[in-house]
Amino acid sequence: MKMGLAGRIGLGLAVISMVLALGSLSGTAGVQQGRKHRHGMPNKHHHAAASALNGYTEPGALIWGCRTLTRGAVLTFDDGPAGNQTLELLDNLNTLGVKATFFVVGGNAAAYPDIVRRIAAEGHEIGVHTWHHANMTQLQVSGLTDQMQREVIDTEELIYNLTGRRPVLFRPPYGAVNDGVRAFLASRGYTIVFWSGGCIDWWLHNPQQESQIIVNGMADAGGLVCMHDSSPETCRGIATLVNMLTATEPRQTMNPQGRRILTMQECLVD
């Protein structure tokens, strides 16, 4: 059936209206999707980017010990930098020829930026321990989400500005992590590192006594030892623990040791 001019014009206008309506719907969907992304809702592109930042594990992984059966131990230090105490610790680690991981508090890192730079320059790993040694779970369940996020982001940015390397390791103060905290840390590409021994030097202040407890209670495979460079006794007496872990004779512990001090890379990847 032939269509007159008026009919053809009417059909054309109807098609144009349909195209515009479809475009409007698509644009609205795009805006809504963009809002979701800006408000932190997960999407596959974001997680792919977060994963690319982390050479150790998948984002949000929870680590209590090494992913290797190598008989070794990783030395980790929380709460610093602590001024001259951390400097003494770095000198002692250098003398011993071992590397460690420092989980720094942002406020302390801001107070001692040169020490943070030295930690990185001497080949040690640096991770985040929040800005104020904050209980992340407590902040999250109290609805203080922005504050909880800033504890990590501000510390992360400071470390990056001081060292040129973006941290991907996070140790929660008090070991406090819930699902909400974990989801946020995963969105930023973090591995969440707990510990399998230690974290008693703030209480005992006796390297010989602490070392016996740490070593005798450690699993045979690789362990994560938690200490504090805010403890002067730890910084001064770190050789006691290292020698106890690495020596085979004379026997000082329940199980024979002869361990190797591992880097975090060797613990989680190699």
Residues designated as active site: 78, 228
Residue whose structure tokens are 């000082």: 252
Separation of alpha carbons 54 and 46, rounded Å: 13
Residue whose structure tokens are 């510990």: 195
Find out whether 175 and 201 touch, Cβ atoms under 8 Å: no
Nearest Cα to Cα of residue 199 among 222, 232, 173: 173
Q: Which residues contact 96 (CB under 8 A, 6 or more apart)?
A: 238, 239, 242, 261
Neighbours of 88 (CB within 10 A): 17
